[in-house]
Every structure is written in structure tokens, then in C-alpha cells.
Amino acid sequence: MPKQVDHRARREAIARALWRVAEQRGVPHLTMREVAQEAGMSLGQLQHYFASREAMLSFAMDFAAEQTTLRVGRGLAALGDAPHPRDVLRVMLTETLPLHPDARATSRMSAAYVLEALHDDALRARARDGILHGRDLVEQLIRRAVADGLVPADRDPVAETHLLLALTGFTTLLELGAVGPEEVLAAIDQHLDRLFTGPA
């Protein structure tokens, strides 16, 4: 295996170990020492791949975003050619929420990352950029749906985009067991049905 590929593979394995620590033990355990242990390496070996805890967290966060993008991509591929924008948004939302183990691991890590980001300008800018990128995708999709007559023309695409992003708030309700996956899907479908009230 070329050295560059191996380096990347090791970093991904460390990121997955970090996700497991976040999911199973909780945020206070997200130290380089505990992640190294979970990844089955020494602290020194871990430091060869990440110079700091921040660098490790940022990579784990970027990798989580990539994996979510891959899951969304697979979900979209399953919709076939020219999927309805309602279905596209449904896949984007449901793959972001902790409705299955992969998404739960990355969702817990994201929550931890956001809390850290509030007190770290570099992490905060990175987290914000990630959200703004997602927002732009959703907004483009809604604007096109309005142009295609699938969403009523009197809807404000910006406000609709923000409402869809805010539905990631289901994360906390799911994590605490205040709502179940079926209830979340029913609510998301109700919201999307109301958004797409034009001809299908």
C-alpha cells in the first residue's frame, strides 16, 4: 500500500475510534489518550497522525461529513434518475439524523464538536462553513422546485431552507428517547407534504 494511502487509512481508523469513544463513553473522554487506546495505538503513534486534539477532532468531523455525504449519495442513487426534490430532501434529512447506528455515532460527535466550537474560533468557522454549504444545496433545490412549480411561488425559499435545517433539532429528541424514529419520519413527511403542495 502506498505510504500516502496508508497514512489516510490510519487517520480514518483513528476517526472511527474517536466516534466510538464519543458514542459509548461520552464527550469528556474525547482525549488523545483515550482515543489512542481505543484505536489500539500509543499516544506517541497517535501524535504522529494528529499534532493536536483540535486537529484530530477536525479531521474526525470532516470525515463524518464525508461519510454522511456518501450515505446521502447512496440514498439518492436508489431514487433513480430525476428524483423528486421532496424525496431528495427526505434522504438528506433522514441520513443526517441519528436514525441508525452510523448516523448516531457521527451525530454524537457533531454535538460534541459544536460545543467545543463555541469556544474555539477556528472550529466554529469550520462548523459554520459546513452548515452554510448544506444550506446552499438545500436552498438551490428549493428555488428550483419553486421554478418548476413543485413548491408554491409565495413561499420564501430562504425561510423554507432554514426550517429544513432546523429540523436537525430532532437529533436531541431522538437521542433522549423523547420521540421515536417512526414519529420523526411521520413529522418530516408532514412537513415535506406541506412544502410540496404544487403538482407532483
Q: Is 77 in the site for a second copy (CB under 8 A)?
A: no
For the segment 44-73, give every residue that binds a second copy (CB under 8 A).
Answer: none
Nearer to a second copy (CB atom), residue 31 or residue 42? 31
Does position 194 interact with a second copy (CB under 8 A)? The reply is yes
Supply 121's cell numbers: 474560533
Residue appearing with cell numbers 415535506 = 192
Site string for a second copy, 116-135 (x = CB under 8 A): xxxx----x--xx--xx--x
Cα angle 65-84-63, degrees, rounded to a multiple of 5? 5
Q: Does the footprint of a second copy cover residue 100 (CB under 8 A)?
A: no
- In DSSP notation, 91-126 reads HHHHHHSSSSHHHHHHHHHHHHHHHHHTT-HHHHHH
Residue whose C-alpha cell reads 435545517 in the numeric block: 165
Degrees to nearest 5, angle at CA 152 with 147 and 168: 95
What would the x/- binding string for a second copy be over residues 7 to 46, using CB under 8 A? ------------------xxxx------------------
| Rama region for 180: left / alpha / beta (φ>0; ψ in -120 to 50; rest) | beta
Report the interface residues with a second copy, using CB under 8 A.
25-28, 108, 111-112, 114-119, 124, 127-128, 131-132, 135, 155-156, 158-160, 162-163, 165-173, 175-179, 183-184, 186-187, 189-191, 194
